[in-house]
Chains A and B, each alone.
Chain A
């Protein structure tokens, strides 16, 4: 994980210089992270205009609050946390009840997989790249936010479980539960596109 460590050090150095008034260093931080933040906000809001607008808001807020960044967290995790809070605030103007908090009776309920047919060995070959991307985007957007955001941060952005927990302000156990549930829900939704015709898993 040398490159992750190097990235972290590099971000740390850029933050230091940006704090000291180096505008170019801040621009480097924007260039390094804006795509990730845009993707996360698009996944949260489902709207490209919101994602673009909120990405700007997030970075301007980060610029204002650079002095409060604690070197104990990774810059990218801190940034993601701010972006998600901005995104949730925007969503609440339309859907007042939206929340990623640890409430909700469904957390511990069992989830039973229904699709039990085997998939083709190489599902990526079943669709073109752009089709696969469109399908994944569409099916991710069908997941409730609290599962969608965990799956996106872990499986699309490659954050660790601990970083995902930090970015969402959740405990690690909750992140693990939601991640599995989200992946299984997505699996159910993707299954009809990738199952091998006629190859039904035997029961028992």
Chain B
């Protein structure tokens, strides 16, 4: 049977579903009996979901347009230039 420190050590692989079935089963037997570890697994999953869905550091539209514009102004050739028109 796995213990709390083993759950913590293997948590990354467990969450990313990247472990052997046998180890997974051993961890899950421990989880069924350990409230603290269940909370850690559940809240870490929620942490990942919150980060993924947060759209953090998104780029405002005006900044997005300005970035593209400034980059393309420094790339040789004319806007809308055809292949081969590069200076």
Residue pair B55, A179 in contact (C-beta under 8 Å):
no
The answer to whether residues A52 and B35 also contact, given A39-B56, A42-B57, A158-B52 and a CB cut-off of 8 A, is no
Of the candidates B8, B54, B74, the one having the most CB atoms from chain A within 10 angstroms of its own CB is: B54
Q: Main SS of the interface on chain B?
A: helix
Whether a CB of chain B sits under 8 angstroms from the CB of A7 is no
B54 to chain A: which residues have CB within 8 Å? 132-133, 136-137, 156
Contacts of B21 in A (CB 8 A): none
Please count how many residues in chain B sit with their CB below 8 Å of the partner chain's CB atoms. Answer: 50
Asked if A24 and B80 sit within 8 Å, CB to CB, the answer is yes
Cβ-neighbour of B68 out of A34, A115, A118 (below 8 A) = A34
Given A31-B68, A116-B36, also A21-B56 (CB < 8 A): no
Which residue of chain A has its CB nearest to the CB of B40? A113
Assess whether A98 is interfacial by the CB under 8 Å rule. Answer: no
Contact B56 A55 (CB under 8 A): no
B67 and A187 contacting across the interface, CB-CB below 8 Å:
no
Residues of A within 8 A of B81 (CB): 23-24
A38 and B53 within 8 A (CB): no
Q: Do residues A201 and B51 form an inter-chain contact, with CB atoms below 8 A?
A: no
Chain B minimum-CB-distance residue to A43: B57
Are A133 and B51 closer than 8 Å at their CB atoms?
no
The residue that A187 contacts in the complex, of B43, B52, B64, with Cβ under 8 A, is B43
Q: Is the CB of B83 within 8 A of A17?
A: yes
The minimal Cβ–Cβ distance linking B85 to chain A, given in whole angstroms, is 7
Partner among B49, B63, B75 whose Cβ is within 8 Å of the Cβ of A26: B75
CA distance A190 to B51 in the complex (A): 10
Nearest A residue to B57 by beta-carbon distance?
A39
On whether the beta carbons of A23 and B75 are closer than 8 Å, the reply is yes
Closest to A31 in B: B68
What residues of A have a CB within 8 angstroms of the CB of B43 in the complex?
115, 118-119, 187, 191, 194
**In the complex, are the beta carbons of B51 and A23 less than 8 A apart?**
no
A27 touching B44, Cβ below 8 Å: no
Which of A56-64, A67-75, A76-84 makes up part of the contact surface?
A56-64
Interface of B toward A, CB cutoff 8 Å:
5, 8, 11-13, 15-16, 35-36, 38-40, 42-44, 46-59, 63-64, 66-68, 70-72, 74-86
Interface residues of A (CB under 8 A from B): 17, 20-27, 30-31, 34-35, 38-39, 42-43, 48, 52, 55-56, 59-60, 63, 110-113, 115-119, 123-124, 129, 132-133, 136-137, 140, 151, 155-156, 158, 161, 176-177, 179-180, 183-184, 186-187, 190-191, 194, 201-203
6 residue pairs A–B, Cβ–Cβ below 8 Å: A23-B85, A116-B36, A136-B51, A158-B52, A190-B50, A201-B35
